[in-house]
A and B are shown apart, each in its own frame.
Chain A
Amino acid sequence: MASQNLQPVPEALSPEDQERAAQLEAEGQAYFDRVMSDDSRIEPKDWMPAAYRKTLLRQISQHAHSEIIGMQPEANWISRAPSLKRKAILMAKVQDEAGHGLYLYSAAETLGQSRDKMMDDLIAGKARYSSIFNYPALTWADMGAIGWLVDGAAICNQVPLCRASFGPYGRAMVRICKEESFHQRQGFEILLELSNGTPAQKQMAQDAVNRWYAPALMMFGPPDDDSPNSKQSMAWNIKRFSNDELRSRFVGMMVEQVRVLGLTLPDSEVRFNEETKKWEHGPLDWEEFKEVLAGRGPCNAQRLERRREAHDDGAWVRVAAAAYAEKQLAKQARKHAEKEYAA
């Protein structure tokens, strides 16, 4: 349930009120700390530290924006899907991503942020979303590579988030994870079919994997020693594993799966470190990552422009629906009044 939790701060507090507020704060903090140490869940109406609320709000809204913007690279290929079956599958996937965005906006709203504010921030270019969606989808094989690598990385990231300490976020993630597995499998299948096709098709599949591999690895975020907020997020039981830990796991899974595809990963330095028992990969271009995140990636402007366009195109629908609802309400009220009068 979305509850407006942000209590207005009174102008000036009397000493008694100040004392009372401090006491409530201390009680709230104690309760919060207990929930954390029990690995239990915080719900929207519970007391929570302001920084916890802020961190969650940023993370959940950015996640929601990513799902919404993430529809675009694939939606662009719906009209060019090679068969009716693939078209139907792609539409279902893109529709799922819209759903994921809506689940997450709802979760963010429970922290006291209005949906309009989030929408406006996204459209105004003030909000961040995953850098991965600022890369172009050049060929049909990209639909395969996106499903396999991008949704695959997302799943790896999101499964531990099902246990995030904030109830609404965890619950949204459970629903999302259930739906994501089809996304990855359909992508894998696209690549497998291309890989078993003509040499040109196989080359197209390999080319798509080559282009999406590094950006997908960067989806887990900067390396641990350059990720200042990670520690706090882990202390708050929002994050369960570090960026590098998740990235390493993901690489391990991809190594096996790429063999089944009959393709290769564009990374000669992938290896299993027997000492650390972790998968390692070659260097990633973190400068590029920062550039894309800062809005200077290949498709940032295009993605935002498209989002704005879609929002404006939908304006008349929103206006009409609101007007209709108002009319119905007035009609009902009139009927009610007539009944009263007759009785």
Chain B
Amino acid sequence: MNPNDEVSTSSTSVWPLWEVFVRSSRGLSHVHAGSLHAPDAAMALRNARDLYTRRNEGVSIWVVPADAIAASDPDAKGSFFESPQGKDYRHATYYTKSEGVKHL
């Protein structure tokens, strides 16, 4: 065994994964930019700044532990998002009779 093996097991594996969200300018939402590994939130923020905002891409950063995010099940694609389907009347484009009427 080489002594480096020990070093690498204690490297990033113990560092959790963080998801990074960046607000590109005032008035806009934070948008997912990517992820990174860091030992804690403070380091995650600093790393996120260096990794995702080297060119003024942001005015604010959120970091979230990746395992704190709950996601919808990709296998339930159909059923989970079914409800809006067939409900075109929720869109303005459904109402065609008013076409040509100004300011409507």
Contact = CB atoms under 8 A, between A and B. Distances in A.
B77 to A, nearest CB: 8
B102 interface: no
Nearest to A46: B74
B12 A116 contact: yes
A290 interface: no
Contacts of A120: 8
A115 B38 CA distance: 12
A50 interface: no
B13 to A, nearest CB: 5
Contact of B11 (A43, A47, A116, A172): A116
B40 to A, nearest CB: 4
Contacts of B7: 311-312, 315, 318
Given A115-B12, A120-B8, A324 B36 contact: no
A336 B54 CA distance: 37
B34 A175 contact: yes
Interface string A145-184: 0000000000000000000000000011001000100000
B15 interface: yes
Which of A102, A123, A329 counts the most B-chain CB atoms under 10 A from its CB? Answer: A102
Interface string B32-58: 001111111001000000110011000
A1 B64 CA distance: 11
Contacts of A46: 74
Interface string A75-106: 00000000000000000100110010011001
Interface residues of B, number: 29
A103 B39 CA distance: 18
A47 B10 CA distance: 32
Contact of B9 (A2, A116, A325): A116
Chain A, interface SS category? helix
Counting chain B CB atoms within 10 Å of each CB, the highest count among A96, A114, A116, A312 belongs to: A116
A119 B51 contact: no
Contacts of B75: 47
B59 interface: no
Nearest to A106: B35
B13 A114 contact: yes
B74 A43 contact: yes
Given A1-B71, A46-B74, A312-B4, A328 B54 contact: no
Contact of A106 (B34, B39, B54): B34
B61 to A, nearest CB: 15
A108 to B, nearest CB: 11
Most buried by A among B9, B34, B37, B54: B34
A324 B50 CA distance: 20
Contact of A2 (B15, B17, B51): B17
A51 to B, nearest CB: 20
B43 A321 contact: yes
A6 interface: no
A47 B11 CA distance: 31
A319 B7 CA distance: 9
Interface string A1-45: 110000000000000000000000000000000000000000101
Interface string B80-98: 0000000000000000000
A96 B54 contact: yes
B40 A325 contact: yes
Nearest to A329: B40
Given A119-B8, A120-B8, 8 more contacts: A1-B71, A2-B35, A106-B35, A116-B12, A315-B10, A318-B12, A324-B40, A325-B43
16 contacts: A45-B71, A95-B50, A95-B54, A96-B54, A102-B51, A103-B51, A106-B36, A116-B11, A119-B11, A123-B4, A123-B8, A179-B55, A321-B38, A321-B43, A322-B10, A325-B39
Interface of B: 4, 7-15, 17, 19, 34-40, 43, 50-51, 54-55, 66, 69, 71, 74-75
Name the 3 nearest CB pairs between A and B, nearest first.
A325-B39, A325-B40, A45-B74
